[in-house]
Every structure is written in structure tokens, then in C-alpha cells.
Amino acid sequence: MNADPLFPDDMRCVVLIGIDFDGASHEVGRGIAPLGKHSWGNYSARCGVPRHLEMLARHGVDATFFIPGYDAEQHPATVEEIDRCGFEVAAHGYLHEAWDLEGAEEEALLRKTDAILKGILGKPVLGWRSPSGRKTDKTMAVLKSLGYIYDSSDKDYDRPYRLRFGKGRDDLIIELPNNTYSLDDFPFYKFSYTPPSEVLAQWRAEFDAIYGADRFFVLSLHPRAGWGSGTPSHTRILSDLIDYMKGHDGVHFMQARTFAQWCLEHSNRLEEVSFT
């Protein structure tokens, strides 16, 4: 008998690989020209994303690319290629904003990025990740009005849940928390300059602890140079990690939208959390 109230027996671990594009938007949004030592973001479209696409296709696993609207405007062909390769495109702000915005400005940026991505893809976008981790109930209301079914910004739980952002019957969205700071390449490569081999060891240890227990493994990556995972040695350990996880039974690599749809279909199994 399955003792887990959420996951069936054959779903020992859901793996969501979220790749935050974070190209030149990261610098331009701060008023910095993306040149010289500030040009790492340009690496995303030129090298990092193609390298990640090749690696993911080689392993036959799914992933979601969270893309700022500005970067999509600058590199529409890259966005099209991500979609053509069968991966999900989701929203990630416009200029990687800090997101301490007034209501009207926030809504305008959410709608602007949504229109940009839909215009390139020719189909709806279903998910969003805050570029700064910040959001409000109004953020969720706008996303829901745009047809989004999930958010992946919160850090407050080990599993997906229903997030209630208002009092209306439909004021709910699926939250896919990315709560494990050590499952993000940014702190390792930005602050501690951790060797890739040690990052791999940490990520394997995190997977070992989650597999068969909480069963929800969310890896947050950036295809930039510098503090991202776009360079050869940093991408290689991702390949090694995927190999390791694929060696375990019942591991499901899923796009965020696919898993969010699954959560909607089994929403009675999810906990509900309210903003208030």
C-alpha cells in the first residue's frame, strides 16, 4: 500500500529542471551596458542555451526555460529553438526586475512579457517564476487572468501545493516551490567559487535525501558564463547528475507545466496555503 498521500508508488521522485535564461536583461535592467566584464549574459543565447539543449536532448529529459521578456525580444530565434526542441518556455519578468513595483507597473510588465512570448511561440504561456523571488497577491491575480496555471517562486515548502491569493472560488494557482538554495547554481559559482566537482557532490546528496522521501527535486540553473552553468565544465556536471538520477527507478523528469497539470488533476491531494 502506498503511504504517500500525494505521489503514487511508481513516482519515486519528480525532477523539475528550471533554466532561468537571464541573458543581458540581468545587466540592462540595472542600467549596465552588457559589455566587457558585464557581458556574461550574452553567453546564454550564444553558447549556454545551445549547450544545454544538446545535453538535455542527448539524455532525453524534459526541462522548462524561464525567460525574461527583454531576452526573448533580443533572441527570438533562440526562444523558437527551445520550443522546437520540445521544451517549455515560461515567463521570468521583463528586465529581471527586483519586483518592488507599483501595481500598474507590475501588471504592465507581466502582460508585456506574456505578449512577447506568446507572439514568438504562437501559443499560451502557462507558468511564471519571479526574477527576484518577490511577488504579491496581485501578481498572482494578473497571472491567473492571463491563463497561467502555476508559479515557481516560493521557498516555503518541500512539495507542490495550492496557493490561494484571494477569496474567490477560482483565486487559486499551483505553487511549485524552488526552496532549496543548494539546488541553484548561482550561490555556488557567484559567492563561494565552488569547484564543479563539489557542486555535483552536493546535488547528488540532495537528490539522495529527496528520492523516495519528499519526492520533489527542483534544480534551478542559469546558462550564463560566470555564475551560471553554461560553460563546458559546468554543463558536464549537469550531464553527470542527470545520469545519476536516471539510474534510479521511478524518476520522472517533467516540464513544470506538465507537472502543474498533473497537480491540478490531483488537486484534492495537495495542501492549500493562503496569502492571508
Distance CA(46)–CA(263), nearest Å, equals 35
90, part of any domain: yes
pLDDT of residue 276: 66
Instruction: Kindly tell me if the per-residue pLDDT of 1 is higher than 50.
Output: no
Domain containing 265: what range?
13-274
87, part of any domain: yes
Instruction: Kindly tell me if the per-residue pLDDT of 214 is higher than 80.
Output: yes
Distance CA(219)–CA(181), nearest Å, equals 9
Average pLDDT in the chain:
95
Percent of the chain at pLDDT exceeding 70: 99
State residue 137 phi and psi, 5-degree precision. Answer: -65, -30
Instruction: Kindly tell me if the per-residue pLDDT of 62 is higher than 80.
Output: yes
- Paired with 274 in beta bridges are 164
56 vs 169, residue with greater confidence: 56
Instruction: Kindly tell me if the per-residue pLDDT of 193 is higher than 80.
Output: yes
pLDDT of residue 2: 57
Convert the pLDDT of each residue in 236-270 to its tens digit. Answer: 999 999 999 999 999 999 999 999 999 999 999 99
Average of per-residue pLDDT across 2-21 = 92
139, part of any domain: yes
Average of per-residue pLDDT across 81-85 = 99
226, part of any domain: yes
84, part of any domain: yes
164, part of any domain: yes
- CA distances 241 to 98, 159, 185, 236, Å, are 31, 21, 13, 9
Convert the pLDDT of each residue in 114-123 to its tens digit. Answer: 999 999 999 9
Task: Indicate the pTM of the whole model.
Answer: 0.96
Displacement of CA 197 from its chain's centroid (Å) = 23
Average of per-residue pLDDT across 183-198 = 95
198, part of any domain: yes
243 vs 178, residue with greater confidence: 243
> Domain tally for the chain?
1
Average of per-residue pLDDT across 58-75 = 98
pLDDT of residue 29: 87
Q: What is the CATH number of the domain that holds 144?
A: 3.20.20.370
pLDDT of residue 134: 85
Average of per-residue pLDDT across 205-234 = 96
137 vs 253, residue with greater confidence: 253
121, part of any domain: yes
